[in-house]
Chain A
Amino acid sequence: MLEKIKFYQTGSNTVGNRLLNPSMRTIQASVDRPNALISGHRACQGCGEALGARYAIDAAMRATGGQLMVVNATGCLEVFSTPYPESAWRLPWMHSLFGNAAAVGSGLASAAKIRAQKNGDSVVPRVIAQGGDGGTTDIGMGCLSGMFDRNDDVLYICYDNEAYMNTGVQRSSATPPSARTATTMPVGEHPGADWGKGKDVPLIAMAHGIPYVATATVADLRDLEQKVTKAMSYHGARYIQILVPCPLGWGLKSSGLTVTAARLAMETGFYPIFEAEYGKITSVRKIRAKQPVTNYLKIQKRYAHLLKKNADPNTVARLQAMCDQNIKDFGLLGDDQPELNPTAIQAYERSQAI
């Protein structure tokens, strides 16, 4: 009786719910979740990255039955989770350099395969390489592109907090325009980060034609878990970029607003959430309650200069236009299926190969 009745208390919007069919609850709702990143880590209060990392790695642990290794690029996540000799990780985890996580991941995946062959093991451990946006979009870009190029069997997860938070909030190529960072101060004619710079790594990854690319946020756990689980069902190079708000670097009005900020990034169209297979967008996460971009901006001090009395109103208008463009391009409103978009030729080869 309970299963067949549509559930309108919270539906599937919350992490779990005692009234929700157990099969519809998230991995995070269960008492025996893997908790790959355990308590006692030194992340700041309200860290979105710590949250995103536990969500993603727990989902991957479930998907692989715990046969999982993680390579971590330098960055907040590496620093706060493993101050020598302690570790907050509860799975095989290694760190090498800032920019080579993708390359180390490739090597680890090959080694695991060979080792399993030698030992006659039927199960080959899977590999996740992960890093922040600095280690991914700037410093590790070459290694990442190489991993995509070779279609190595690695899932690369980028925890995108839109700047180099570990070293003191410097701009990265994932920093959005007009945002204040230590290196893009709100001074001069165009305060904050420049317009017309930066790169869209999910689209770059798609251009490699790899099996799976997705974006996600810590505000939609079900979506995130589903994407990680799906990524682990593929072999070959995969890329997931998760928006993980940084209360300190973004100047969130309170450390409790992490999930709210991520939700607003989705609901304003600022951060399009989608998934792509073999270079084609196959689904987008629709906006549930559209909000103006100012609602997103006003809870962050990094945009405070845009909302001052003497600020140029055109900047906010441009950011709104950017959101509207995202909504249009990715079809974030309405019920339509995403339209086909041109894909890299390698996508065809790879889709045939596996």
Chain B
Amino acid sequence: MLKKAFAVTLDPATSLENHTGSWRTLRPVNVFKLPPCNKQCPAGENIQQWLYYAAQGDYEQAWRILTEENPFPACMGRVCYHTCEGKCNRGLLDESVGINSVERFLGDYALEHGLAFKRPTRESGKKVLIIGAGPAGLSAAYHLRRFGHTVHVVEQGKEPGGMMRYGIPTYRLPRDILDKEIKRITDMGVTIECGRKVDDIEAEKAKGKYDAVILGLGAGISQNVDIPQGDTNHILNALKVLGEIETTGKLDSEIKVARKVAVYGGGNTAVDVARSLRRFGAEPIIVYRRNRDKMRASEEEMAAAEAEGVQVKWLSTITGASKDKLKIEKMALDENGYPQPTGEFEELPADAVVLALGQNVDQAAIQKLKELKFEKDSLIVDPVTLETSVKGIFAAGDCATRDRTVTHAIGMGKNAARAVNAYLKGTVYKKQPKHEDAKFEDMHPWYYSEAPKTVRPELEAARRTSNFDEVQHGLTEENAIFEARRCLSCGNCMECDNCYGVCPDSAIIKLGPGKGYEFNYDYCKGCGICAQECPCGHIAMVPEKI
């Protein structure tokens, strides 16, 4: 006989006993996608991740993550052509995130606070020789040292830095910044020997008992073109002019008298030379055989050059030079975009010509290595391991690619270091498969609020043309955080709590700051609201195995 009414025969219970997860046909999972900035970065930086830490004011952690890929953030923040920003998904919303500025801020922050790289915890006992202390060589040295190898770098120039020192003008990269960032690498135990040219690589390798060699020879020979000239006009090459400015702080004596200088070429070096000459009071005019659209130089650098008063003559080739003028032939682009001579000539007043038509590798350094294969003007290397045709000799940077930027060289240096590390362990380096791309379509634009990009204050054009002070100012801390906090965090969690909030079944567990979220599959019914409302496309619904 029941003691209580039938309707209350059962004791109260909680719905937690009802595991609604069994209803599920689709399961939410976290997916990590490759943000477009990371994908674009030639140095392979994990940009989204370091912006994540910069955005919360943890600059040291941001810098540590950045330097896992690239040991030169302060230099990069100044000289990198930041193609990442061109790919930024935020650009489709309002304006791209000023990634380069934040990088520079982090680089300067690290220098200011004396942040150092950690020395390897364990020595491998292997020795690696690196020839050339340019960005590729130094990047390789840094990464190899991190793996615990003993690294020795031999550089033919007076000081380390390669094109960062002898090619990039000081108004873009102050040398104290470069020196400090190189010192941080030597502080890890990397040794750099300057002012010595290695003639016989094999002999050097045997003598020093090196286990592997990385060639970071660069491309230091200016390409020449034959211009018929009277004996009075001065024809110089771009690297000589830039190198001269670096070592003596003065203009080459031959060009000193010149006032109107034609710079022949359309790459970044041409722009660097023209802007440098402008600072010595010359009136440079860039002569380029194609038009602006086809120009290889960075748009930003070109705009700055024009703002400083550098003139450009498009669709022109120099066919002859005499005392104070040049003979110019007008060009026309054919349907494939290649310049074709028109047969129309004109004169351009100029006292000197600087050739900036591209650079070649100094083959003298490698001629004793007969088996080393060379094609056109770069070494043939394995596209994955960067190993040359000679076993145990790898190559990185300008000498092994046509993509000749500092950032690219740094990326190649890292790549070569990883391949050498694998080689030293007796394995073969394989690239890790990349995550799926984080496209703008995967994002939920409604959730992002619009903001303008902070415009970096620039020195006044007039001031810029008269000296070599740094042109672009870095961001203040406030501006840097502002920029970092505009990152959309494409394809990777930013901890916005949306999934946690929108679940009708409270089936998402918030793990706390920095730890993200977990799905509680006991109760998740697989409705998919979390995936739909995730701003950055970090959640995907996958079919449940039934």
Q: Which residues of A approach B to under 8 Å, CB–CB?
A: 1-2, 5-11, 13-19, 25-26, 28-29, 31, 35, 37-43, 45-48, 50-51, 54, 81, 84-88, 218, 221, 247, 254-260, 263, 288-289
A40 and B14: CB pair below 8 A? yes
B497 (CB) vs chain A CBs: closest residue: A16
* 0/1 interface trace, chain B 493-509, chain A, CB 8 Å (1 if under): 01111101111111100
Centre residue among B501, B510, B533 by max chain A CB count within 10 A: B501
- Report the separation of the CA atoms of residues A39 and B15 in the bound assembly, to the nearest whole angstrom: 7
8 more CB-based (< 8 A) A-B contacts, given A16-B498, A39-B523: A15-B498, A31-B512, A41-B505, A42-B15, A84-B7, A86-B14, A218-B502, A256-B541
A43 and B531: CB pair below 8 A? no
B448 and A40: CB pair below 8 A? no
Chain A-chain B contacts (Cβ-Cβ < 8 Å), number? 189
8 Å CB interface, B460-498 against A: 477-478, 481-482, 485-489, 494-498
19 A-B residue pairs with Cβ-Cβ distance under 8 Å, sorted by A, are A2-B57, A8-B485, A10-B496, A13-B446, A17-B497, A18-B56, A18-B494, A25-B497, A28-B501, A31-B510, A31-B512, A40-B14, A41-B20, A45-B525, A48-B504, A51-B529, A86-B12, A254-B532, A256-B528
Contact pick for B488, options A9, A31, A87, A247, CB 8 Å = A9
B501 and A221: CB pair below 8 A? yes
Contact pick for A39, options B447, B506, B529, B531, CB 8 Å = B506
B449 and A1: CB pair below 8 A? no
B9 CB, min distance to chain A CBs, angstroms:
8
A10 with B535, Cβ < 8 A, contacts A15-B501, A45-B23 known: yes
- Report the separation of the CA atoms of residues A257 and B20 in the bound assembly, to the nearest whole angstrom: 20
B501 and A10: CB pair below 8 A? no
Contact pick for B485, options A7, A13, A15, A87, CB 8 Å = A7
8 Å CB interface, B432-449 against A: 446-449
- Report the separation of the CA atoms of residues A254 and B527 in the bound assembly, to the nearest whole angstrom: 8
- Report the separation of the CA atoms of residues A9 and B448 in the bound assembly, to the nearest whole angstrom: 6
Contact pick for B497, options A28, A37, A218, CB 8 Å = A28
Centre residue among A26, A81, A259, A263 by max chain B CB count within 10 A: A259
The answer to the question of B253 belonging to the interface, with a C-beta cut-off of 8 Å to chain A, is no
A260 and B532: CB pair below 8 A? yes
For A50, the chain B residues whose CB sits under 8 A away are 504-505
A27 CB, min distance to chain B CBs, angstroms:
9
For A51, the chain B residues whose CB sits under 8 A away are 502-504, 529
Contact pick for B502, options A40, A88, A259, A288, CB 8 Å = A259
A6 and B18: CB pair below 8 A? no
A38 and B510: CB pair below 8 A? no
- Report the separation of the CA atoms of residues A85 and B7 in the bound assembly, to the nearest whole angstrom: 9
A17 with B495, Cβ < 8 A, contacts A9-B55, A46-B528 known: yes
A9 and B494: CB pair below 8 A? yes
A88 with B496, Cβ < 8 A, contacts A13-B448, A39-B20, A256-B529 known: no
For A17, the chain B residues whose CB sits under 8 A away are 494-497
B14 and A88: CB pair below 8 A? yes
A45 CB, min distance to chain B CBs, angstroms:
4
A54 with B23, Cβ < 8 A, contacts A88-B15, A259-B533 known: no
8 Å CB interface, B410-457 against A: 446-451
- Report the separation of the CA atoms of residues A14 and B448 in the bound assembly, to the nearest whole angstrom: 9
- Report the separation of the CA atoms of residues A87 and B15 in the bound assembly, to the nearest whole angstrom: 5
A40 and B19: CB pair below 8 A? yes
B482 and A5: CB pair below 8 A? yes
B505 (CB) vs chain A CBs: closest residue: A39
B501 and A255: CB pair below 8 A? no
A54 and B20: CB pair below 8 A? no
A38 with B15, Cβ < 8 A, contacts A1-B478, A29-B500, A51-B504 known: yes
B518 CB, min distance to chain A CBs, angstroms:
12
